[in-house]
Amino acid sequence: MKALKTFGLIMVLALALAMGAGCAKKNEEVAAGTAADSSMAAINAAAEQITNGIVYFDFNKYDIKAEYRTVLQQKAELMKQYPSIRVRIEGNCDARGTQEYNLALGERRARAAYDYMVRLGVPADQLEMISFGKERPAVMGSGEKVWAQNRRDEFNVIAR
């Protein structure tokens, strides 16, 4: 009888330990899932900040104006913090000029932002460039106010 009680007690203890271990594993899985969700939320927030903030250019120019250097610095810091994020810099022009000229100018604008961000420490493999020339206007119409909004670099997150 005593052996049966001892065996029963051992079984109860073994069952309790097994249940506790199962709960611990489940708690670890929940914690890991919560951490992954939190990390993805941070990456998504960074991606949104990178996408926001357009860099505008003067007519027929591709140099980064002082007021947009801070914008690019913020994007660069986020990209260095989240190396899984990849960004395509899209150079755009206003409607004036030939298609060929504007494609070349859009490329120089995208290259200017690309080079600046690489100098700030963003790995080159996190960035790519494309020129849309005058093919993707942000605003339709003519006149300096419209044209000024179309001379820009936009930043699209292509991988997180």
Cβ atoms of residues 89 and 152 within 8 Å: no
pLDDT of residue 20: 54
pLDDT of residue 103: 98
pLDDT averaged over every residue in the chain = 88
- The model's pLDDT over 85-111, given as tens digits with 9 standing for 90+, comes to 999 999 999 999 999 999 999 999 999
Which residues are CB-contacts of 114 (< 8 A; sequence separation ≥ 6)?
A: 89, 127, 129
Q: What number is the average pLDDT over the span 22-26?
A: 51
Please provide the DSSP assignment of 12-45 as one string.
Answer: HHHHHHHHHHHHHHHHHHHHHHHHHHHHHHHHHH
pLDDT of residue 37: 80
The encoded tokens of residue 107 equal 């490329």
| Phi-psi label, residue 121: left if phi above 0, alpha if psi -120 to 50, beta otherwise | left
Q: What number is the average pLDDT over the span 19-26?
A: 52
- The model's pLDDT over 46-55, given as tens digits with 9 standing for 90+, comes to 999 999 999 9
Q: Per-domain residue ranges for the chain? A: 43-159
pLDDT of residue 13: 47
Q: What is the CATH number of domain 43-159?
A: 3.30.1330.60
Residue with tokens 């460039």: 129
* pLDDT exceeds 60 at position 140: yes
Q: How many CB atoms lie within 10 A of CB 95?
A: 15
